[in-house]
Amino acid sequence: MSRAAAVTAMQLPDRVLMGLALTLLAIGLVAISSASVEYAQINYGDPWFNAKRHAIYLVVALVAGAVTYQFSLGFWQRSGWLCLFGALVLLLLVLLPGIGREVNGSQRWLVFGPLTLQPSEFAKIALVVYLAGYLVRREQLVRSEWRGFLNPMVLLFALTLLLLLEPDFGATVMVVAIAFGMLFLAGVRLGHFLLVVLGAVMAMGVLAVAEPYRVQRLTAFTDPWADPFNTGFHLTQSLIAYGRGEWFGVGLGSSIQKLLYLPEAHTDFVFAIWAEETGFVGVFIVIALYLALIGRILWIARESSRRGNLFGAHLCHGVTIIFAGQAFINMGMSAGLLPTKGLTLPLISYGGSSVIASCCLLALVLRVQREMPLERAGAGS
């Protein structure tokens, strides 16, 4: 086989990563279709309303991912600052009266005709793209001087401030985790890192107890059965769903908790309904799929770094933090291991913004993998 033919063959999208992602998307559609039946029947008069809407989201997400994949890494590296600026503008717009939509006391959504977008989901993408470029441009500065570490903290502060004004504490936690995780993996000095992280943890702790509803969530998490019909209601109903699932579940479509015992079960607690209907086996399969997906992204990051594409490696690190962090928090929340947070389960949870953002992130990883053979061929010429 000629070198040109070998390069062409290697440029095909990573089939393992695509297969894992498509499997999780399919599981999400099945889980949402089952979990939303009663809710959709009562609220819209159509038991498949949410399922059909999510199917449309999936089509839009796949198209958005395909478009994202078409742009080179060089384009994304040059456009990082523009992406971040756009994210900041959207986060400002969502706070303006008459523009941002308020739901359940939080103003987190922008409405564009039939589409509803959550800017915080796209702010995560923008932060990953910008930081990946920054870490390439300021590699030595980040590893040796305070200034290299603190410069991104100014932008991080602006993002977290806007997110807290919505308020969206869950997204704030993820944005901080993305920034610190990418900086740590880039080789920032450990002393600098630990000092700033300690300050951030203290600040997050203060914010966690500054609002009564956050305190209630923390207390409900420690003992949800102390107030099972008020502050601990969601968690106790979620735990009942887990308990009913046992080893093999009650069967798809046979959940009892989705019959409005667990409010809006197709959103943040869709994994609890999946656990009830498919049992330990179903839970194990989904966790295994996430571990395989995250492992594949990390493998691409390592290969990208080994072949000299540091931007691609940093990009993959950021995507890994998002998928691993949100999956762990969402599953841990529904299982009572973590306090309740409004974070989606990537590729599975209901919501257009979440699934679109997830597909765009994976498209960036696929682009990193696609451009690796070009570097190898160039190195051998």
Burial annotation 219-241 (CB, 10 A radius, 16+ → b, else e):
ebbeebeeebeebbbbbbbbbbb
Q: How many CB atoms lie within 10 A of CB 39?
A: 21
Rounded Cα distance, 141 and 258, in Å:
52
Residue in 381, 376, 369 with CA at minimum distance from that of residue 15: 369
Backbone φ and ψ for 162, nearest 5 degrees, come out as -65, -40
Rounded Cα distance, 373 and 307, in Å:
9
Over 60: is that where the pLDDT of 300 sits? yes
Query: Which range has the worst mean pLDDT, 4-13, 277-286, 298-307?
Result: 4-13
What would you report as the CA-atom Rg of the chain, rounded to the nearest whole angstrom?
Answer: 21
Query: Which range has the worst mean pLDDT, 8-17, 66-75, 226-235?
Result: 8-17
Q: Cα 146 to the chain's mean position, in Å? A: 29
Q: Give the model confidence (pLDDT) of 83-141 as tens digits.
A: 999 999 999 999 888 788 877 667 888 887 777 889 999 999 999 999 999 999 988 88
pLDDT of residue 380: 40
Q: Give the model confidence (pLDDT) of 321-356 as tens digits.
A: 999 999 999 999 988 888 877 788 999 999 889 999
Please give the C-alpha separations between residue 184 and each of 20, 205, 278, 303, 364, in angstroms, as whole numbers.
27, 21, 38, 19, 21
Residue 193: partners with Cβ closer than 8 Å, 6 or more residues away: 149, 180, 183, 184
Give me 3's structure tokens: 């070198």
Rounded Cα distance, 289 and 192, in Å:
35
Question: What is the pLDDT averaged over residues 357-376?
Answer: 85
Does pTM surpass 0.95? no
Question: What is the pLDDT averaged over residues 25-37?
Answer: 94
Question: What is the pLDDT averaged over residues 150-160?
Answer: 88
DSSP code at position 337 = S
**Pair 16, 296: CB distance under 8 Å:** yes
Percent of the chain past pLDDT 90, that is, above it, reads 52
